[in-house]
Structure 1
């Protein structure tokens, strides 16, 4: 049996079926303005019978105040960004805002194209990761008239609102921790530092601290693509093949660090007596491994929640530092 598309049911058809004007149907569906209980029942009965779905986008564009919040995020495979979305979504839903999102894959040019596409819907706010954007993206954001929230980084200058923490400080804290534990031959395993600018800032802060203490980074292994458990495992394998006497490894994030952990388990490398492992993000899985991962825990859900609260409150431009927490764990 062939499926045939029916024409979309219109607001006018609902109004005709309910015996009221289109403006009355609109007020009932938005639950705004005056109408009787009897009128509401008639409208909702017609909506259900006809299978009408309100065009929320059109309603947003026609209203004086948009309730769309556009999220332009680097990735969905990295749990960091879904956590931010989860923190924001509850606040937005409670305040009758609608979240829409798109994914850049860490590509600045793609981010610029997606920001342009999102701004065409005239959202109330745009939320992006970090401070590094193309000149075109920055020009559009500043001219958009909507609120801009940059999250998960405070090392730079905000367009409008910013919520997160200093990645450079996180890198410095990680280096301080390893140095205080007595490690001196320290290496790094990470992913593309040019595309993931926040990872690049952590790496820079880490290396600066090591050099200032007189123990510069021994070697690095950087995968050209995205972070993953697999890339962390094989990255550590390649690094140790070159420098087997390294005593600690700083990973760009917990995904990569867990890959390194699995490599050590497979090769019988004792953690931390033979090799220390340190990550970043504080993922749940890192806390339930046989040896809890030594890492930095970031306030991802709180970042999303606070960012959303600033949006719905139409707060003045500001920077909110939520800090981070160093988890000593058992791998370093």
Structure 2
């Protein structure tokens, strides 16, 4: 086949351009590009080659007018700088790859109002589904989700009532399990270090479960240190120094995430503090990037990849149930004691 002559760059390419370049009817071109109908392999390749050569991209909005849906899946997450969510996105992309559905990402920066805006824009494109982090939303966001008429999957958390489907872990149980492991290792003067948590509902639930388990053993937190802003090694160092200076008899530091926990570990090691003998430490998320630290930080795997995959399976109708939506899938995180909790 001769290479098609490029069209005028100021004019939008149409099916007719691909039809003329490939020598087949517009209807056949449409069938090939939508992967519908019975078209021979030779003809299909001719159409696809012509489309590639021309740089033709189908107008999904025009093609969706009859169905009122496009093949996009809105994925709304709090942050891209937080190393948790890229792995979730990897799981989503892997599953959707052969479904014809394309994930489109929006970032909220942990702001409920920003989530509301992003959700409104996403839904205005009439996506085939929405995946978003968390179970807590503004009233307007909740109403939009409830009336969307498409599969909705809220991810990362199952401690609450989802709009449609939910995939995640119980953060209350995760906090409780970590407290039980810390107490079992003999620590009693325990401090919590983490975000202010007005909008980090999952960290708030972990702390609630953590304190519940401590209270059951007759223990209360010896100190708390909160911060606002992103998770960072420097922030972890500063917070750890503040707590140990203020409450020097603290013997365990529980961090809301691994990044500030890693900063705390580096501070302790540089200060010559015996870890885990004098002070134990633990974080949350199981971030593999931190495996190169001088000591392996105790943490809990948040099942990030599995959460992304399961959410995409629900949206793509690939679950064993064969039903799209209406599922609550609880995954079980694994406690990794590493080198920063005393061995029992």
Q: TM-score normalized by structure 1?
A: 0.93
Tell me the residue number matched to 2:251. 247
Deviations 1:241-272 (A, max 9, x none): 21111100000011110010111122111211
Tell me the residue number matched to 2:161. 157
Task: Select which of 305, 309, 321 maps to 1:305.
Answer: 309
Deviations 1:19-63 (A, max 9, x none): 444332111112211334554354334324422222345434554
Q: Aligned-pair distance for 1:309?
A: 1.1
Question: Are 2:289 and 1:285 equivalent residues in the alignment?
Answer: yes
In the alignment, the residues of structure 2 paired with residue 41 and residue 207 of structure 1 have an alpha-carbon distance, to the nearest angstrom, of: 62
Q: Which contiguous aligned blocks of 4+ residues in structure 1 show a shift greater than 6 angstroms?
A: none
Tell me the residue number matched to 2:196. 192
Deviations 1:62-96 (A, max 9, x none): 54664321100001111111111111111101222
Tell me the residue number matched to 1:70. 74
In the alignment, the residues of structure 1 paired with residue 163 and residue 221 of structure 2 have an alpha-carbon distance, to the nearest angstrom, of: 34
Q: 1:48 to 1:304 in 2, by over 3 A?
A: closer
| TM alignment of 1:30-179, pairs within 5 A | 30-37=34-41, 39-63=43-67, 66-179=70-183
For structure 1, list consecutive stretches of 5 or more residues without a partner in the other structure: none
- RMSD of the alignment, in Å? 1.9
Task: Select which of 304, 319, 336 maps to 1:327.
Answer: 336
In the alignment, the residues of structure 2 paired with residue 183 and residue 38 of structure 1 have an alpha-carbon distance, to the nearest angstrom, of: 71
Question: Are 2:298 and 1:294 equivalent residues in the alignment?
Answer: yes
Is contact 1:186-1:218 (8 Å) kept? yes
In the alignment, the residues of structure 2 paired with residue 309 and residue 95 of structure 1 have an alpha-carbon distance, to the nearest angstrom, of: 10
Q: 1:220 to 1:41 in 2, by over 3 A?
A: closer
In the alignment, the residues of structure 2 paired with residue 199 and residue 220 of structure 1 have an alpha-carbon distance, to the nearest angstrom, of: 14
Is contact 1:294-1:329 (8 Å) kept? yes
Is contact 1:261-1:277 (8 Å) kept? yes
Q: 1:62 to 1:101 in 2, by over 3 A?
A: farther
SS state at 2:157 partner: coil
Task: Select which of 321, 327, 332 maps to 1:318.
Answer: 327
Is contact 1:61-1:121 (8 Å) kept? no
Q: Aligned-pair distance for 1:170?
A: 0.6
Is contact 2:151-2:324 (8 Å) kept? no
Total equivalences in the alignment: 329
Tell me the residue number matched to 2:5. none
Tell me the residue number matched to 1:215. 219
Tell me the residue number matched to 1:228. 232
| TM alignment of 1:267-282, pairs within 5 A | 267-282=271-286
Deviations 1:94-152 (A, max 9, x none): 22211111100000000011011001111111111111000000000010101110111
| TM alignment of 1:10-49, pairs within 5 A | 10-37=14-41, 39-49=43-53
Q: Aligned-pair distance for 1:227?
A: 1.8
